Amino acid sequence: MIAQQVRRFSALWKYRGFIRSSVINDIKMRFSRSNIGGIWVILQPLAQSAIFALVLSVIMQARLPGIDDTHTYAAYLLSGMLCWTLFTEGVNKGLGLFLENAALIKKVNFPLLTLPIIGGLISLMNNLFLLLATLVILALLGVFPTEKIILLPVVLLLTLGLGLGVGVVLGILNVFIRDIGVIVPIILQFMFWFCPIVYSPESLPKIFRTVLAYNPMSWIVRSYQDILVFDRWPALETLLPALITALISWLLVRFLIRRTYAQMVDIL
């Protein structure tokens, strides 16, 4: 068992140059497509957050329970959007992974797991730029992260692992059932409102708080908000469902790739 895992890792390690060049090429292509290139990766979620903040906190006077200022609400919203953006980018990367690389998969023999690694690294780099921009805006709002931020990389990697794992499973199924690629974005829009991003769980009726508790992403979002806004250590035990879901997703990825690889190549 251990020897088998070592062989798999060695096979992936041999393709590290391919992984590195693919990530670099993606960055170059992004900057060559428009005048401001990859900055759109940061501007889009920030613009969405600004719209929510304007409509909810300024026009509709939304506030967090017990906190009567708009700055904290805006910071709360930004930290939630930072988490959600990474998750959805991971899902979307995984969803299109095999269809977008169909020609490469059919012509070149390489470990398919290199594709999720490439997608994950690209998503991670995008989110790190967004994180830096978010921290600057939080500072302008008077919100400064403390030593609690040392746990942010753990929560960040869990978010990426969960989003990408679920996305790759859906990406494999998308090869065989193309409607999945249409349905998933709709489901993600629906899921957004089942995460405490634009509202606080404490402001909801008990029955809705119970529903939120069964959504692994809601706990990850709250961990971001605890670390970046409320200066609280996140309750790591609440992240266990997300960790289990991520692990199951990646085990399912391995299983599906082994069972469907030949069929995938034929269909692609």
pLDDT at 47: 82
Does residue 156 carry a pLDDT above 70? yes
Tokens 């401001």 -> residue? 36
Half-sphere exposure of 1 (CA within 13 A, CB side): 0
User: Cβ(133)–Cβ(42) under 8 Å?
Assistant: yes
Q: Which residue type sits at 97?
A: L
Neighbours of 60 (CB within 10 A): 9
Q: Lowest-confidence range among 62-71, 97-106, 123-132, 245-254? A: 62-71
Structure tokens at 91: 């899902």
Distance CA 264, CA 132 (A): 39
Of 127, 57, 49, the closest CA to residue 81 belongs to 49
pLDDT tens for each residue of 20-71: 998 988 877 776 666 665 677 677 777 887 787 777 766 656 667 656 677 8
DSSP 56-75: IIIIS---BTTB--HHHHHH
Structure tokens at 169: 């499973």
Distance CA 256, CA 263 (A): 11
